[in-house]
Chains A and B, each alone.
Chain A
Amino acid sequence: MTAVPAFTPSTAEARRVLYQLVLCRGFEERVLKLVTDGSIRGTTHPYVGQEAVAVGACLVLRPQDWVISTHRGHGHLLAKGGDPNRLMAELFGKATGYGGGKGGTQHMADFAIGHLGSNGITGGGIPIGTGAALSAKLRGSGQVVVIFFGDGAANQGTFHESLNLAGLWRLPAVYVCENNLYAMSTPHREACAIEHIADRAAAYGMPGMQADGMDVQAVAAATRVAVERARAGRGPTLLECKTYRFLGHSKSDQRVYRSREEEASWRERDPIARWRALMLEHGWAGAADLDAITREALAAVDAAVEFARQSPFPAPEALTEGVFATPGESCAN
C-alpha cells in the first residue's frame, strides 16, 4: 500500500469544499424534484452520497488537468468548476445548456475547465481518458487526467485494456473507481471475482490505492499522491474510493436489492455532515459561517433553475447543425 500523507486544506479550500459538497447535493436533490414534476424529461442518476469523491479528487487538480466522467456525472462537472446554470439548462434541453440541449444529463462537456465529457456507455470513457493522458504525454503538457468510473464499469473490457495500455506507457492518468457497491441492482460481490478493485492494479503495472470515499480529506490525500506520481512521469494509479449512493440508481429505482439498514449505516457517514464537523473542530469556520456557505450554494441552485427555465429551447435549425465540425470553427483546443 502506498503511504498517503495527510491532506490539510487551507481555510479557503475548506470553505470551497463545503460550498461544492452542498452545491452537488443540492443540485441533485433539486433535479430529482424537477424530474418528478416533469420540468426535466428523461432520466437522471443522482450523485447524492458520493460527493466526497468528485470534490476531493478535483481539489488537488489544476484547472488545466482533465477529468472524464460517467452517467452519474453532474457532481464531477460541478466539482471541476462547471457552471450550474449551463448544466441545469442542458438538463432542461435548452439552447443555453452545455451542449445546446443536444446532449442531456449523460452527455455534456466543458473543455475550457478540463472536463472531457460525461458518458452514457458504462466504461466508454475509460479509453478516451487514457487517450487524453497519451496526448498530455506526447505534448509534454504536464497535464494529468482523472478518469472517473464505477465498480460496474471496472468489469468492462475497456477498463482492462486501458489500464494495461496506461501501465505499459506510464501515462499520466489516475483511474478513480467509485465503488458504491452496486451497478444498478447488481452487487459488487456478485459481479467481481475479488473484493477490492484496487487489487487489479498489480496486473497492469501500477499502484493500487484505496480511500474512504465518504471523506473528502482521504480522497484528496490519495488523489494528490497519484497526481504527483503522474505529473512526475512515473505513470498511472488505480484509486478505489469506497462510497455509497444514498438514492436509487436512477429516478425510478425502488432499491429492492438492498436493505434500509445498510442505507442508514452509510447515511451516518454523510460526507457533508462530516465536513461541517471537521470545519468546526479545526476552527476553519463558525456555525453561522457554515450556514451562510450552505445558503450561498443552494442559492446557486435556485439561480440555475431560474436560468434554465428562462432559457429558450434550441431553434429548429439546430437539429441538423453540428454533425460535423467545419473548417475554421472556434474550439477550445
Chain B
Amino acid sequence: MRELTYWQALQEALREALQRDPLVFLLGEDIGEYGGAFGVTRGLLAEFGAERIRCTPISEATIAGAAIGAAVTGMRPVVEIMFMDFLTLTMDQLANHAAKFRYMYGPQARVPLVLRTPAGGGRSYGATHSQSLEAWFLHVPGIKVVAPATPADAKGLLAAAILDDNPVLVVEHKLLYATTGMVPDGEVLVPIGRAAVRRPGSDVTLVAYSYYAGVALQAAEQLAAEGIDAEVIDLRTLVPMDTGAVIESVRKTGRLVCIEEGTRSGGVGAEIAARVSELAYEYLDGPIRRVAAADVPIPFSPPLEQLDLPQLADIVDTARQLCRG
C-alpha cells in the first residue's frame, strides 16, 4: 500500500496489464509523449514503444471500431477517448457493434475491449466537454460500465476491465485525477458489478458513484453532525448494477437519495429509483429522492455551472428533508 493519485493508480493498472500481457495495447489521441489529455498515459510510450502505445488521428468512430476488430481477432485494446462527450462519435460502433457481437454471433465472439474516458464538469469546460453520459449505456445491453471513485478502485476496476472478455466503459472523472488515496501494490482486482458501503448508517441511504461518492461521504459527515446517520453506497459499477446492495441498505434505512452528476431525466438515479420501488417498496418510509443536474446543457459561466451541477448542500438538504419531513 502506498498513497497514489487517481491518475497514477490508473496508470499503474495500464502498466501492469501491458507488462503482463503482450496482447494488451493502448489506442487513442495524444496518448504518447503528451500523455493523454489528463496525463494518465504519460511515460508509457517511452516504456512500451509506439506499437503498443498507439497514437491515432482524430477519428473517434474508427478508433472505437478498430478496437472492436482488434478485440474480436484476439487482442486486448484499451482505448482512450479524450472527453466523454466525444463518445457521441463512437456511438454506432459501441451501441450497434461492440454491445451486440456476443449476442448476435454467439460464443465464438468475444469483445475484450476497454474504453476509458474522462467525464464530468466543475471546470468550466463548457457544454461539449463536461458531460456525464454514462446513463446512455444503461439502455444498451452488452457493455459494462464502471465508474471508480477512489484511486484504489481506479486501479482495481481498470485492471478487472482489461481482464474482462466484454466491452467495458471506464468512466473517469476530471475532478478525481489529482485526488489521492492508498492503493495496494501489484495486481489488484475490484470485481465488476459489486457496490461498496463507504459509510454504514441507519437513517437514510445515499447512493452515488464516481466523484459524487466522495461528495456523498462529505454530506454524510455534515448530516451526522445534525444527528442524521446516513449510509453511503458507492455503486462503482453501473452495468451490471448491484441492485441488491441498494435494497439491502434501504431495508435498514427506509429512505433513499440517488445522487448523480448527469442530467435528471432518464438518468442513473431514475433507474435506481425504479428498481427499488419495484423490488423493495415495502421497506420505504418516504419517497425516493434524486439529486442530479438540471435538464439543460452544461453552462460555461462558473456560477451557472455550479448552480446546474449537484452540490454538497443539495445532498444534505435533500437527505435532511427526507429524514425530518
With contacts A107-B100, A121-B96 taken as known, whether A162 is within 8 angstroms of B107 at the C-beta atoms is: no
Q: Which of A132, A157, A168 contacts B57 (CB 8 A)?
A: A168
Q: A127-B61, A165-B57 are in contact. Are A138 and B107 (CB under 8 A)?
A: no
Is B106 a contact partner of A124 (Cβ separation < 8 A)?
no
CB distance from A199 to the nearest CB of B (A): 21
Of the listed stretches B66-74, B256-264, B268-276, B277-285, chain A binds: B66-74
Is B83 positioned at the interface, with any CB of A under 8 Å from its CB?
A: no
A158 contacts which of B61, B70, B102 (Cβ < 8 Å)? B61
Q: A116 contacts the other chain (Cβ, under 8 Å)?
A: yes
Q: Which residues of A contact B141 (CB under 8 A)?
A: 323
Question: Which B residues are in CB contact (< 8 Å) with A139?
Answer: 73-75
Interface residue range, chain A: 35 or more
Cβ of B51 within 8 Å of any chain A Cβ, yes or no, is: yes
Given A135-B74, A138-B51, A323-B141, the answer on whether A109 and B109 have CB atoms closer than 8 Å is yes
- Interface residues on chain B, number (Cβ under 8 Å): 42
- State the CA gap A136–B75 with chains docked (Å): 9
- Give the docked Cα–Cα distance between A162 and B64 (Å): 11
Contact between chains at A116 and B110 (CB < 8 Å)? no
Flag if A109 contacts B61 (CB, 8 Å): no
Answer whether residue A161 sits at the interface, using C-beta atoms and an 8 A cutoff.
yes
A81 within 8 A of B: no
Which residues of the partner chain A approach B110 to less than 8 Å between Cβ atoms?
Answer: 325, 329, 331, 333
B47 within 8 A of A: no
**How does the 8 Å CB contact mask read for A94-134 relative to B, with 1 for contact and 0 for none?**
00001110110001111110001101110010111111111
> Residues of A contacting B92 with CB < 8 Å?
121, 124
Q: Is B320 an interface residue (CB 8 A)?
A: no
Known: A98-B105, A102-B103, A333-B72. A324 touches B66 (CB 8 A): no
Contact flag A98-B106 (CB < 8 Å), given A127-B61, A164-B59, A325-B166: yes
Contact: A109 with B108, CB < 8 Å?
yes
Which chain A positions have C-beta within 8 A of B106? Answer: 98-100, 102, 322
Bitwise, A317-330 to B at CB < 8 A (1) or not (0) is 00000111111011
The answer to the question of A332 belonging to the interface, with a C-beta cut-off of 8 Å to chain B, is yes
A165 touches B97 (CB 8 A): no
Report the bound CA distance from A66 to B74 in whole Å: 13
Contact B74 A102 (CB under 8 A): no
A138/B25 contact (C-beta < 8 A), A111-B108, A128-B97, A325-B107 known:
yes
Task: Report the bound CA distance from A332 to B109 in whole Å.
Answer: 7
Using Cβ atoms and an 8 Å threshold, which residues of chain B touch A107? 100, 104-105
Please give, as numbers and ranges, the residues of chain B lying within 8 Å of A132 by CB-CB distance. 69-70, 72-73
Is there an interface contact between A130 and B69, defined as CB atoms closer than 8 Å?
yes
Question: CA A164 – CA B66 in complex, angstroms?
Answer: 12
- Please tell me if the beta carbons of B70 and A135 are within 8 angstroms of each other in the complex: yes
Q: Which of A131, A322, A331, A333 interacts with B66 by CB under 8 Å?
A: A131
Whether A99 and B105, one on each chain, are in contact in the complex, defined by CB atoms closer than 8 angstroms, is yes
The CA of A326 and the CA of B69, in the complex, are separated in Å by 19
The answer to whether B103 and A128 touch across the interface, beta carbons within 8 angstroms, is no
Interface flags for A20-38 (1: CB within 8 Å of B; 0: not) read 0000000000000000000
A132, B77: Cα distance in complex, Å:
12
Q: How far is the CA of A189 from the CA of B97 in the complex (A)?
A: 30
With CB as the reference atom, state the residue of chain B lying closest to A104: B104
In the complex, chain A residues whose CB is within 8 Å of the CB of B59: 161-162, 164-165
Select from chain B the residue with minimum beta-carbon distance to A139: B74
Interface flag for B38 (CB, 8 Å):
no
Q: Which of B86-113 contact A (CB under 8 A)?
A: 92-93, 96-97, 100-111
CB distance from B34 to the nearest CB of A (A): 18
Complex contacts, A164 vs chain B, CB 8 Å: 57, 59
Cβ–Cβ < 8 Å partners of B70 in chain A: 131-132, 134-135, 138
Knowing A164-B57, A324-B142, A332-B108 are in contact, say whether A129-B103 is a contact too (CB < 8 A). no
B128 within 8 A of A: no
Query: How far, in Å, is B59 (CB) from chain A's closest CB?
Result: 4
A236 to B210 Cα, complex, angstroms:
42
Confirm or deny: B65 has a beta carbon within 8 angstroms of a beta carbon on chain A.
Answer: yes
A165 touches B66 (CB 8 A): yes
Task: Tell me which residues across on chain B come within 8 A of A325, comparing CB atoms.
Answer: 102, 107, 109-111, 165-166
Docked CA distance A247–B59 (Å): 36
Question: In the complex, what residues of B have CB within 8 A of residue A145's CB?
Answer: 69
Are B105 and A124 in contact (CB-based, < 8 A)? no
Once A128-B66, A158-B62, A329-B110 are accepted as A-B contacts, the answer to whether A324 and B105 lie under 8 Å apart by CB is no
B57 and A322 within 8 A (CB): no
In the complex, what's the smallest C-beta–C-beta distance from B50 to chain A, in angstroms?
Answer: 10
CB pair A322 B103 closer than 8 Å: yes
For residues 283 through 333 of chain A, which have their beta carbon under 8 Å from a beta carbon of chain B? 322-327, 329-333
Look across to chain A and name the residue whose beta carbon is closest to the beta carbon of B167: A324
Asked if A128 and B108 make an inter-chain contact with CB atoms under 8 angstroms apart, the answer reads: no
Which of B25, B62, B92 has the most A CB atoms < 10 Å from its CB?
A: B62
Tell me whether A162 and B65 are in contact (CB under 8 A): yes
- Bound-state CA distance A107–B61 (Å) is 20
Q: Measured between alpha carbons, how far is A32 from B73 in the docked complex, in Å?
A: 33
A111 CB contacts on chain B under 8 angstroms: 72, 105, 108-109
Name 25 A/B residue pairs within 8 A (Cβ), A-sorted. A66-B73, A99-B104, A99-B105, A100-B106, A107-B105, A111-B108, A121-B96, A124-B97, A127-B68, A128-B68, A128-B69, A138-B70, A139-B74, A139-B75, A145-B69, A158-B65, A162-B66, A164-B59, A322-B103, A322-B106, A323-B141, A324-B102, A324-B142, A325-B110, A331-B110
Q: Told that A116-B72, A134-B66, A134-B69 touch, could you supply 16 new A-B pairs with CB distance under 8 A?
A: A68-B69, A107-B105, A124-B92, A127-B62, A127-B68, A127-B69, A128-B68, A128-B93, A130-B66, A131-B69, A162-B66, A165-B57, A165-B59, A325-B102, A325-B109, A329-B110
B interface, CB within 8 angstroms of A:
25, 51, 56-57, 59, 61-75, 77, 92-93, 96-97, 100-111, 141-142, 144, 165-166
